[in-house]
């Protein structure tokens, strides 16, 4: 488990939401993998990320078995958590038609760590 900052603890452990348009991954589009900030579980491939304009990183799919859906305490939304450690990631929405998958995982940047794609070491130079 990674040592979390106080701000990360508020989001990941206490289910707070970071301010919209404030997260470092909101407008970040590089090849790689987004993993859980707390436990390192691979969550989302960069190919699943898209611009939703909502102020938080948005993904239309996750790695199989990586994310769990649970009822949000307010009863209006569906929360998404890391399937490995239970850390709060954000919420999931369906039916908005942003992508053909018709799903938006709206995730706090503070819940994520990005691992860039490593160049293939076997490729000829």
Catalytic residues: 106
- CA-based end-to-end distance of the chain: 37
Put the strands of the sheet holding 78-82 in their side by side order. Answer: 49-50, 58-59, 103-107, 88-94, 78-82, 67-71
* CA gap 100, 38 in Å, rounded: 30
Alpha-carbon torsion angle 33, 65, 102, 76, nearest 10: -110
């Amino acid at each position: 488990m990674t040592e979390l900052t106080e701000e990360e603890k508020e989001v990941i452990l206490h289910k707070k939401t970071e301010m919209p348009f404030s997260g470092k991954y909101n407008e970040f589009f590089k090849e790689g993998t987004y993993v859980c900030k707390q436990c390192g579980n691979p969550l989302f491939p960069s190919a699943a990320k898209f611009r939703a304009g909502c102020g938080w990183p948005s993904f239309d799919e996750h790695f199989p078995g990586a994310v769990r859906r649970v009822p949000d305490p307010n009863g209006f939304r569906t929360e998404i958590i890391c399937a490995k450690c239970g850390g709060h990631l954000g919420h999931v929405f369906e039916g908005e038609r942003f992508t053909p998958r018709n799903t938006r995982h709206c995730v706090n940047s503070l819940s994520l760590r990005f691992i860039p794609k490593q160049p293939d070491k076997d490729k000829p130079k």
